[in-house]
Amino acid sequence: MKRFLFILVFNSILGIGQNQTDSIKAYSNQFESSFNEMKYDLALISANKLFSFAKQKNKSSVQDKAIIYKAKVYFKLKMFEQSISLIEGIIKKKYSTKEEITNFLEANNILANIHYSKYEDDKAIAKYIYIDSISESNNFTNDVQIRALQNIGLMMLRGYNPSNNKIYGKAKDYFKKSYELAKSSNSLTEMHVSGLYYGSTLVESENPDIETALKLYDDANKYFYENKLVKEFSDTYWAYASLYRKISRNDLATKYYKEFIEKSKTFNDDNALIRAYWAYASYLYQIKNHDEAIINYTAVVENIKNKKNVDYSIISNSYYYLSSIYKSRNENDLAYESLENYITYRDSLEQKNDNQLFNDLETKYQTEKKEQEIELLKTKNELSEKQKYIYIAIAGLLLISGLFLFYGYRNKIKTAQKLNKLNELKSRFFANISHEFRTPLTLIKSPVQQLQSNTTNEEQNKQLNLIDNNANRLLELVDQLLELSKIDNGKLQIILKKGNLKHFFQSIIEPFSFKAKEENQAFTFTTENLDFETHFDKDIFTKITSNLLDNAFKYNEQGKPIDFIAKKENQNLIIQVRNYNSQLKESDYKKLFERFYQKNNAISGFGIGLALVKDLVELYEGTIKTNFNNQQISFTVELPLNKNLANAIIIEEKGKTEIISDIISETNHNSELPILLVVDDNASIREVIKDIFATNYQILEATNGKEALKLAQKEIPDCIISDLIMPEMDGFEFSNQIKSNELTSFIPVILVTAKSSDDTHLKALQSTADVFLTKPFNHEVLKATVSQQIQERKKLQERYSQELILKPTEVVINSVDEKFIAKLETVLETAIPNSEFNAEIFAEEMHMSRMQLHRKLKSLFGVSATEFIRNERLKMAADLLKNDKLNISEIAYNVGFNDVGYFSKCFKEMYYLSPSDYQKK
Say what the pLDDT of residue 676 is.
93
379 to each of 373, 384, 386, 840, how far by Cα in Å? Answer: 10, 9, 11, 95
Bridge partners of residue 572, in order along the sequence: 569, 640
Average pLDDT over residues 113-139: 86
Going by pLDDT thresholds of 50, 70 and 90, the confidence category of residue 586 is low
CB 154 within 8 A of CB 119: no
- Beta strand 572-580 with 533-536: parallel, antiparallel or unpaired? unpaired
Q: For the chain, what is the total number of helices (H) and then of strands (E)?
A: 35, 13
Q: What DSSP string runs through 710-775?
A: HHHHHH--SEEEEESS-SSS-HHHHHHHHHHSTTTTTS-EEEEES---HHHHHHHHHSS-SEEEES
State yes or no: cis peptide before 776, omega within 30 of 0: yes
pLDDT > 90? residue 721 = yes
Q: Which is more confident, 324 or 700?
A: 700
pLDDT band of 566, cuts 50, 70, 90: very high
Single out the residue of 856, 878, 880, 879 nearest to residue 868, CA to CA.
856
The whole-angstrom separation of Cα 757 and Cα 767 is: 15
| pLDDT at residue 20 tops 80 | no
- Which of 227-236, 253-262, 567-576 is the most confident on average? 567-576
Task: Give the best-scoring range by mean pLDDT among 14-23, 106-115, 349-358.
Answer: 106-115
- Residue 773 sits at φ, ψ, to 5 deg, of -125, 150
> Do 803-920 and 268-353 have the same topology in CATH?
no
Strand partners, 568: 573
Q: What is the mean pLDDT of residues 620-634?
A: 86
The domain locations on the chain are 143-263, 268-353, 356-483, 493-650, 663-793, 803-920
Distance CA 839, CA 493 (A): 54
State the CATH class of domain 803-920: mainly alpha
**Residue 49 half-sphere exposure toward CB, CA atoms < 13 A:** 15
Beta-ladder partners of 525: 564
Residue 567 to residue 527: CA distance in whole angstroms:
5
From the list 745, 871, 764, the residue with the least C-alpha distance to 813 is 745
Q: What is the mean pLDDT of residues 64-71?
A: 92
Q: From the CB of residue 427, how many other CB atoms can be counted at a distance below 10 Å? A: 16
| H helix or E strand, kind and range, residue 494 | strand 494-500
- CA 830, 832, 836, 840 torsion-angle sign: positive
pLDDT of residue 409: 73
Q: What is the chain's alpha carbon radius of gyration, rounded to the nearest angstrom? A: 37
Question: Per residue in 497-513, pLDDT tens?
Answer: 888 888 778 767 867 87
pLDDT of residue 420 exceeding 50: yes
Q: Would you say residue 25 has pLDDT above 80?
A: yes
What pLDDT, on a 0 to 100 scale, did the predictor assign at position 354?
45
Question: Order of strands across the sheet with 675-679?
Answer: 698-702, 675-679, 719-723, 749-753, 771-774
Instruction: Go through 780-816 and write b for each residue having 16 or more CB atoms within 10 A of its CB, e for each that does not.
Output: eebbbbbbbbbbebeebbeebeeeeebebeebbeeeb
Mean pLDDT of 743-758: 77
Q: What pLDDT is recorded for position 660? A: 31
Which residues on adjacent β-strands are paired with residue 721?
678, 750
Q: Could you give the count of Cα atoms lying within 13 Å of 328 in the half-sphere of its Cβ?
A: 12
Residue 609 has a CB neighbour count (10 Å cut-off) of 20
- Sign of the Cα pseudo-torsion (61, 62, 63, 67, in order): positive
Give backbone dihedrals phi and psi of 281, rounded to 5 degrees, phi first: -60, -45
What confidence category does residue 348 fall into, taking pLDDT thresholds of 50, 70 and 90?
low
577 band by pLDDT with thresholds 50, 70 and 90? very high
Sort residue 570 into left (φ over 0), alpha (ψ -120 to 50) or beta: left
Question: Is residue 215 within 8 Å of 206, Cβ to Cβ?
Answer: no
Q: Residue 96 is which amino acid?
A: S
Most confident of 87-101, 803-817, 895-909: 87-101
Whether pLDDT at 562 is above 80:
yes
SS (H, E, C) 220-242: HHHHHHHCCCHHHHHHHHHHHHH
Compute how many other C-beta atoms are within 10 angstroms of the C-beta atom of residue 848: 19
638 — pLDDT class (breaks 50, 70, 90) = very high
As a whole number of angstroms, the distance between CA 242 and CA 199 comes to 10
More confident position, 112 or 354: 112
Lowest mean pLDDT among 40-54, 97-111, 283-297, 481-495: 481-495
For range 46-53, the mean pLDDT: 90
Report pLDDT digits (tens) over 402-417.
777 777 777 777 777 7
Q: Could you give the angle at the alpha carbon of 399 between the alpha carbons of 394 and 400, nearest 5°?
A: 100
Q: What is the pLDDT of residue 67?
A: 93
The domain made up of 663-793 is a member of CATH 3.40.50.300: no
3-state DSSP assignment of residue 846:
coil
User: Quick check: helix, strand or coil at residue 598?
Assistant: coil
**Calpha distance 668→674 (Å, rounded):** 9
497 three-state secondary structure:
strand
**Whole-number pLDDT of residue 668:** 39
SS3 category, 528 = strand
Instruction: Look at residues 689, 125, 664, 716 and name the one whose alpha carbon lies nearest to residue 368.
Output: 125
> Checking DSSP bridges between strand 749-753 and strand 771-774, what pairing results, if any?
parallel
- Answer yes or no: are the C-beta atoms of 704 and 679 closer than 8 Å: yes
**Mean pLDDT confidence for 707-717:** 88
**pLDDT of residue 152 exceeding 80:** yes
Average pLDDT over residues 421-447: 67
- Report the run of H or E that residue 679 belongs to, with start and end: strand 675-679
Q: Residue 601 pLDDT > 50, yes or no? A: no
Pairing state of beta strands 494-500 and 648-650? parallel
Q: What b/e sequence results for 722-757 when a residue is b if at least 16 CB atoms lie within 10 Å of its CB, and e otherwise?
A: bbbbbeebbbbebbbbbbeebbbbbbbbbbbbbbbb
What average pLDDT does the chain have? 77
Q: Per mean pLDDT, which range of 73-82, 218-227, 714-723, 772-781 is the poorest?
A: 772-781
Task: Give the helix/strand (H/E) hosting 692.
Answer: helix 683-693
Which residue has better confidence, 719 or 327? Answer: 719
- Report pLDDT for 631: 78
For 191-219, what is the mean pLDDT? 82
Lowest mean pLDDT among 15-29, 333-347, 363-377, 562-576: 363-377
% residues pLDDT > 70 (the chain): 76
The per-residue DSSP string of 436-453 comes to HHHHHHHHHHHHHHHHHH
Q: Given this structure, which CATH class describes domain 493-650?
A: alpha beta
Q: Identify the pLDDT of residue 655.
A: 42
Pick the CATH number of 268-353 from 2.60.40.1120, 1.25.40.10, 3.40.50.740, 2.40.40.20: 1.25.40.10
User: Looking at per-residue confidence, does 64 or 9 come out higher?
Assistant: 64
| Cβ neighbours for 50, distance < 8 A, ≥ 6 positions apart | 24, 27, 28, 31, 62, 65, 66, 69
Counting every residue written for the chain, the total comes to 921
Res 840 pLDDT > 90:
no
Provide the sign of the torsion angle of the four alpha carbons 127, 128, 133, 136, taken in this order.
positive
- Mean pLDDT computed over 651-675: 48
Q: What is the pLDDT of residue 679?
A: 93
pLDDT band at 489 (very low <50, low <70, confident <90, very high): low
- Single-letter amino acid, residue 898: N
Name the least confident of 82-91, 380-389, 508-517.
Answer: 380-389
CA distance 874 to 763: 45
Q: Confidence band (pLDDT; 50, 70, 90) for 376?
A: low
Q: Which residues of 126-148 are buried (b: 16+ CB within 10 A; e: fewer)?
A: bbbbbbbbbbeebeeebbbbbbb
- DSSP class per residue in 605-672: --TTHHHHHHHHHHHTT-EEEEEEETTEEEEEEEEE-SS--TTEEE------PPP-TTHHHHHTTSSS
What is the dotted CATH code of the domain comprising 143-263? Answer: 1.25.40.10
For 471-485, what is each residue's pLDDT tens digit? 776 777 667 666 666
Does 14 score more than 70 pLDDT?
no
- Name the DSSP letter for residue 673: P
Q: Please give the average per-residue pLDDT across 715-737, as a whole number.
A: 87
CA distances from 469 to 444, 450, 688 (A): 11, 15, 19
pLDDT exceeds 70 at position 705: yes
Measure the CA–CA gap between 443 and 639, rounded to whole angstroms. 38
Q: How far apart are CA 265 and CA 261, in angstroms?
A: 6
